[in-house]
Structure 1
Amino acid sequence: MRWWPLTLRGFSALALAVLCIVMAQAWGSVELLAVAVLLIALVAVSVASLYVLRRPARASRAVRPVVPRAGETAHVSVGVAVRTTLPTASGSWTDGMPRDAAANAEGGFAAVTSGLRDPERTVTVNYRVRFAHRGIHQIGPFGVTLLDPFGLARRTLRIGATTHVVVAPAATELTGSPRVTGGPGDLPHATTTQFGQGAENLTARPYLPGDSMRRIHWRATARHGALMVREEEQEATPDATIVLDRSAERFSDRAHLAPGGDPAFEDAVGACLSVAARLVRDGCTVVVTDADGQELCPPLVSVADSDRLAAELATLTTQAGDALPQLALRLAGDRTGPLVLVTGRLSTGDASALATLASRSASPVLLTTDPDADAVSTAIASGWHAAAIGHGRDLAEAWGEALDRIPHHARR
């Protein structure tokens, strides 16, 4: 009972004091009365010391990593500043946890020495936590139970604010990606130019009137017997598009209420993140949108951007409507590079409606969490490299199955 200030030892001391008073009256013993008064005074002073002479000042909590992934272990460190003028006995602590978190967030609270000169002492506790689902989870408040030096009284307090932890979706390590490496009409590319003599992207061309003499390529000049100048080639970075269909019609109603509610939607979100991380590592500039065309985050150009996407996907839910039938029309004017579509329920009619979209990418990949019996076959027949995901199936296996259907000249 949090409201009861006495420990078992304190309650026993108080009961003994009452017994001494009764016996003192029965026997007329002044000594027993003195013992009773002493015990009552000791218990009273012990209780008062917890409320007057010492109290926890504040608690600060740090979570590492700052944005953990679902299913991975995060480390939590809590620093508790305790103000005390008298030493305290060891106590206990506990930290508030959401229902879907697995953690042993309780333990012994270390004794604190006297702080007459420096009245604030800091006690640090550490524990590990694992969140089952993505989303924003609350940890706290932190609870600490302090004991007086004699162990007669205790005080339980909730201190510090709650900490909101953003939990990103879990990602699967994928191998290989549907990247076209070059050739006429293959893919649009984002181009960048690098300058500087000795760079790998330098070529030589004959000198033309007006060229700067500082650009003369002396090694090529000696080899060709004529003035040659450095010409910077453009480096190409392939563009890839990932479409995550968050239409409510494709998933259960629970996917619209909160993250983690629908396992199928969680599989789709995890697949989106995993594929994006794979394509970025393979050198693609990745654009992630929903079926309505809304970008879910800025374009990804580096591995660090994958962490930013993970944070953006942490709180994603479905939205009303069904945007998938209009997807082909929305991308009608675009010629895309690698195109990956991640969706939920898929019928043969949906697969047929997406047929024209497959022809606009050299390597279109379709991942669905809930296809009907013939939907995947229909999508494959129309040009998609399709596979079913979710329902306990390994994402890496499904991804590899889809890539196996891509011609080798269109793969990295």
Structure 2
Amino acid sequence: MRRALAGLTTRGRSFVAAGTTAIVCAVVLGERDLLRAGVLVLVLPLLCTLAVSRTRYRLACARRLEPARLPVGHEARVDLRLENVSRLPSGLLMVEDRVPYALGGRARFVLERIESHGTRELGYRIRSDVRGRYRVGPLTVRLADPFGMVELVRSFSLSDTLTVTPAIVPLPPSRLSGAWTGGGDSIARALSAAGEDDVAPRDYRHGDDLRRVHWRSTARRGELMVRREEQHFQSSGTLFLDTRRSAHWGDGPAGSFEQAVSATASIGVHLVRTGMSLRYVTDAGEALPAAPSEGAFEGLLLDALAVARRSKAGTLSAGLAALHGAHNRGREGNGLVIAVFGVLSEEEARTVAAARRGGGTCVAVLVQGGTGPETANAGTNATKTAEETAAGLLRAGGWRVVTVRSAADLAGAWRQAGKAGENFVRDGS
């Protein structure tokens, strides 16, 4: 009853105040008719409160969010199923599902009545133009009397999480040579071109197929020798994102940071779907190690980029140290490195250029900025000069450099990076 009194609406409180005032005035003035009217006005909201507090029906809720992960600008659907599991029919219900403002605000429905063991199915769509992770729900049910005097709020605990990932730009199938787990793609080519005499045999083990016996080595060694199993090589690489606040400018979807995140997501998804084993590194260090499953890493990468924020780091030392650690381990030392940067100073460009090790392919994607009105005045001559200087230093250090103003320009830049690699091999450099 106390909870129901706390749920009095503005109308209910007004009736209580008016009835109380009328009763006090009737006592002071000695007016019986006014006393009767005051009692009637006061009793009505109290009776509604009693009726709502005595409600004995129980509700069950089920929800489905499809899909649970989607790129910005796409829609997801939320389906709700509300069931009255009691023997009594419900009264007027006001149903509200809590939805963050970025997804379109609250979803509200009015249900006049749900019969005993009856169900009602509700649905609505949500959409976000801002990446992130959002909580959808829980569902709140407001029980109200027919006069609108009392509202009793009951909430379910069930909720869902919607992950809005960066926009993904399809990239052309340009080949960028990377490393092969176990020694570089030159070893893979050597094995594919090797003859029978070049195969390194090993000792015979119980259970080996006799058809794999290497007779020439057997005759030379005086004991059974067999060919080694075919070695499987997997292309590997590292995806680097510069999240420093000082390296990006502009706010909102048109800012350089959002464009860099979108470019990173597009490149990562493209490389993973081509069978490459990737790991994800930021200026703060390694964020995601390589996953054994392609689909698993793609999902983890998109989840990480969905909540990526600008960091307060002032240098790239931690991120470059993570790249150096890969070279020191040797597993990915000659692997493909794709680094997405914002604004690089001359000193930072020299440091990044020196971070290249071995004969691996390193590609730097320089995001010059967004395309919105807030970034229109950023392309000054000084800025262009700094960008050209950084690009020149990276090229001198052996990096392939492509510059984009937005993620939409990435497809053409990716094709140019692939052609640059073909010319690099053709010239024999």
- TMscore range, shorter length: 0.5 to 0.7
What is aligned with 1:346? 344
Counterpart of 1:70? 72
CA deviation map 1:200-222 (0-9, x unaligned) = 9xx9789998465751229999x
* CA drift at 1:76: 2.0
Shift of 1:75: 2.3
Q: Does 1:4 align with 2:9?
A: yes
Which residue of 231, 255, 280 maps to 2:272?
Answer: 280
Q: 1:98-148: CA deviations, max 9, x gaps?
A: 22213672233362114xxx6xx5544222211222333233453334455
**What aligned pairs does 1:65-144 form with structure 2 within 5 A after superposition?**
65-80=67-82, 82=84, 86-89=88-91, 91-102=93-104, 105-109=107-111, 111-114=113-116, 123-144=120-141
The separation in 2 between residues aligned to 1:234 and 1:300, in whole angstroms, is 17
| C-alpha separation in 2, matches of 1:297 and 1:109 | 50
8 Å contact from structure 2 (residues 178, 336) kept in 1? no
Map Cα deviations across residues 59-105 of structure 1 (whole Å, 9 max, x no partner): 55443333444333222233445466543455442222222213672
- Indicate yes or no: 2:306 matched with 1:314: yes
The match for 1:305 among 297, 311, 323 is 297
> What percent identity do the matched residue pairs reach?
23
Q: Mean alpha-carbon deviation: is it higher for 275-284 or for 287-296?
A: 287-296
Task: Tell me the distance in 1 between the aligned counterparts of 2:409 and 2:100.
Answer: 28
- Could you tell me the TM-score, scaled by structure 1's length? 0.68
For structure 2, the residue ranges without an aligned partner over 5 or more in a row are 1-6, 23-35, 216-223, 370-382
Gaps of 5+ in 1: 19-32, 191-199, 222-226, 255-259
Contact 2:335 2:360 in 1 (8 A): yes
| Corresponding letter in the other structure for 2:89 | P
Q: How many pairs align? A: 363
What is the rounded CA distance, in whole Å, between the counterparts of 2:155 and 2:359 in structure 1? 56
- For residues 17-55 of structure 1, what are the alpha-carbon distances to aligned partners after superposition, in whole Å with 9 as ceiling and x for unaligned? x9xxxxxxxxxxxxxx9xxx9999888655543321246
Residue 397 of structure 1, aligned match among 395, 412, 415: 412
Contact persistence 2:283–2:318 (CA under 8 A): no
Q: 2: distance between equivalents of 1:252 and 1:154?
A: 51
Equivalent residues of 2:177, 2:421 under 8 A apart: no
Partner of 1:22: none
Instruction: Give the alignment partner of residue 215 of structure 1, picking from 209, 231, 234.
Output: 209
Equivalent residues of 2:203, 2:225 under 8 A apart: no
* 1:339 CA displacement: 0.8
The Cα of 1:234 is off from its aligned counterpart by 0.1
- Change over 3 Å in CA distance of 1:58–1:172 after alignment to 2: same
Give the TM-score taking structure 2 as reference length.
Answer: 0.65
Q: CA RMSD in A?
A: 4.9
Out of 152, 159, 162, the position equivalent to 2:155 is 159
Residue 378 (structure 1) shift: 4.4
Q: Aligned in 2, Cα 1:113/1:299: closer, same or farther, shift over 3 Å?
A: closer
The CA distance in 1 between the partners of 2:424 and 2:312, in whole Å, is: 38
- 3-state DSSP of counterpart to 1:405: helix
Contact 1:179/1:410 (<8 A) preserved = no
The structure that is helix-richer by fraction is 2
Amino acid at match of 2:111: F
